[in-house]
Structure 1
């Protein structure tokens, strides 16, 4: 059984922590520490509080090991109060499982001075009920990769993680850096970033007085650069606009239904192994999805079949009416993307009132494509009265949901002063984020106007 040695820096951390008290390492279970794996172990402090350490690369077996350890400690009446992290990252799914348990148990998370927490480790850290990143800690983020590298499905997972970070109130500049930094590279969080994501009072050098600055609803400024600045950025006129929009958009963002919101994207659906049809021909793919329909309540199989017919995949002629047939079946199961597609079907057939009704239903479900489209028709005055204010709200909501199209469209409004004062800084930040999500038009406009 591996013995967990005293962690350098733990006394300094605990001396200022609200949940550690006065701590000196104490042994547990016959005078030693308990270890389930080389990189997961538990230690107890003289205050009676315990903590788990996770060191090294996060692997598939680490999630069940961590959960088993947490269960054992709870049954023994000595639950871990916090988790100390020192990891270069690793596999995302076990990290998510560990993060879920950390959140459910209300554990705090700590990265000590000179320790590292990168990539998947950051998922665990940010899920802590209390978080402490000590001065001198090294923390890094970047996009997720899979067996195909920086693939479309991997980017879909990154967008999903971005939404999780948003709900956990990760500052916008860190989220943008995660989406913008490809696998193989890393964005290192600055000391100010570490303070922004910490929720505990930490020992620190006296800080200079901050410059007076208007902030967004998140307190960070919506359009902070993905590369953190050494000094506080000059406030943008966009900050005041979006502080108000944040309050209005919050009412639209309450659904966590996995059939809607950030999860309702083609890339996400196809990234789920159950619905993966890569490498199959049209007939084989349609047959696989059709077999999933009985007993299904999500509408995902019907939606994907409809999309295949609409796109004419595999060299087949596009069959729109067959596509709408499957979309309707999926919509009847409450599938947000299918509801949006039904709205587009009614628009195609000149039934504007029904089209708008279905589009609004999909917007209430926070389907990114629907949110973006409502922004577009509000900006252009198509089927609804022209309303730049509504367009800005919808584009911004789409931006928060991870839509590259909404980010680009909103950037274009700021670039050209449509419905809002012209603001090149805000426009460039939006074009940059849209380009980081694969939007080639945004990449071109960014090169032409922002360098």
Structure 2
């Protein structure tokens, strides 16, 4: 066969055949990219360390995205990870301080509301020690704290990460002691069933809007949520005392908060 014969045969193909061939190639490429996107979103949803920290295979503290000690928070929280992974529990301590410790599991807001209803007249401050969890419950807890005009606090070497700062933002007065570990990252509600790419995207956008609106209502600066949005869900942006003050996440200097205990 002469070398130019395949070329002549290709030239004899009509435009319709060529267009169909190009279309099928583009369609195949689009399918591959869609599959990659779905796999990426699914993997991200399954790897949310702050979303369901009660699972034993999920790290309570994701690696740091911020400068400082590599792959670690500024200081290590005092509570063991087993304590932080348990469903959040509430204990009224001296001075009207209600300790809220553990993961914010679905249903935590209802239990918190019952606790406030039962002990509301004695509670003055909610002290948080949590790796985060359910965004819906965190929002509801934060709204109730503001409604009841309570203060919030993160004690020295206590943890408040992922959705926990949403709860912290509800306090009328917001105090972080020296060496309090507070961090943010991207959050969204995943639910029990694995979502499609469209469902995951819609959920992420809706939850982002809800959290942003809530933080604005609570008087928190936009810079806090911008840092959260820029931080993947498998990392944490650990906040410095200056950033907390600049973003209006805290209402008192660290030294003043520490003196109050």
Quickly name the TM-score band, shorter chain normalised: 0.5 to 0.7
Structure 2 residue aligned with 1:40: 89
Match of 1:199 in 2: 251
Q: Could you tell me which residue of structure 2 aligns to residue 151 of structure 1?
A: 201
Offset, 1:43: 2.5
Q: Which residue of 1 aligns with 2:66?
A: none
Please show how residues 18-57 of structure 1 align to structure 2 within 5 Å: 39-45=88-94, 49-57=95-103
Q: Which residue of 1 aligns with 2:236?
A: 186
Distance 2:254 2:139 in 1: 27
Do the aligned residues in 1 keep the contact of 2:134 with 2:189 (CA within 8 Å)? no
Partner in structure 1 of residue 65 of structure 2? none
Give secondary structure in 2 for the equivalent of 1:151: helix
Q: Contact 1:133–1:195 (CA<8 Å) still a contact in 2?
A: no
Q: Provide the residue aligned with 2:107 in structure 1.
A: 61
Q: CA deviation at 1:38?
A: 6.2
Q: Deviations over 1:385-434 (max 9, x none)?
A: xxxxxxxxxxxxxxxxxxxxxxxxxxxxxxxxxxxxxxxxxxxxxxxxxx
Shift, 1:85, TM fit: 0.3
> Structure 1 residues 98 and 146, CA, compared in 2 at 3 Å: closer, same or farther?
closer
Q: 1:194 to 1:134 in 2, by over 3 A?
A: farther
Q: Does the aligned pair in 2 maintain the 1:126–1:168 contact within 8 Å?
A: yes
Equivalent of residue 99 in structure 1, options 124, 142, 165? 142
Q: Which residue is 2:223 aligned to?
A: 173
Q: How many residues align?
A: 162
Distance 2:127 2:140 in 1: 16
Query: Mapping of 1:362-441 within 5 angstroms?
Result: none
The unaligned stretches of length 5 or more in structure 1 are 1-36, 205-451
Q: Give 1:154 deviation, angstroms.
A: 1.3
Instruction: Report the Cα distance in structure 1 between the residues aligned to 2:214 and 2:119, rounded to whole angstroms.
Output: 28
CA distance in 1, matches of 2:233, 2:88: 24
Structure 2 CA distance for aligned equivalents of residues 142 and 113 of structure 1:
21
Change (3 A) 1:152 1:66: same
Q: Equivalents in 2 of 1:113, 1:64: separation in Å? A: 27
Say which SS state the counterpart of residue 80 (structure 1) adopts.
coil
**CA shift for structure 1 position 173:** 2.1
Runs of 4+ in 1 over 4 A off after TM superposition: none
SS of 2:244's equivalent in the other structure is helix
Shift of 1:191: 2.2
Task: Using structure 2 for the length normalisation, give the TM-score.
Answer: 0.57
Return the structure number with greater relative CO, CA threshold 8 A, min gap 6: 2
Conservation of the 8 A alpha-carbon contact between 1:89 and 1:121: yes
Query: Partner of 1:141 in structure 2?
Result: 184
The TM-score, its normalising length taken from structure 1, stands at 0.34
CA change 1:164–1:140 in 2 (3 A) is same
- 1:198 CA displacement: 1.4
CA deviations on 1:62-115 (whole Å, 9 max, x unpaired) are 1111111111113xxx43101000100001111111111111111100001111
Shift, 1:188, TM fit: 1.4
Residues 130-169 of structure 1: per-residue CA shift (max 9 Å, x gap): 1001121111112223334862321221122112222323
Q: Say if 1:50 and 1:195 are closer, same or farther in 2 by CA, change over 3 A.
A: same
Correspondence for 1:117 among 148, 157, 160: 160
Matched, 1:108 2:151: yes
Contact 1:166 1:175 in 2 (8 A): no
User: Aligned equivalents of 1:168 and 1:81: distance in 2?
Assistant: 18
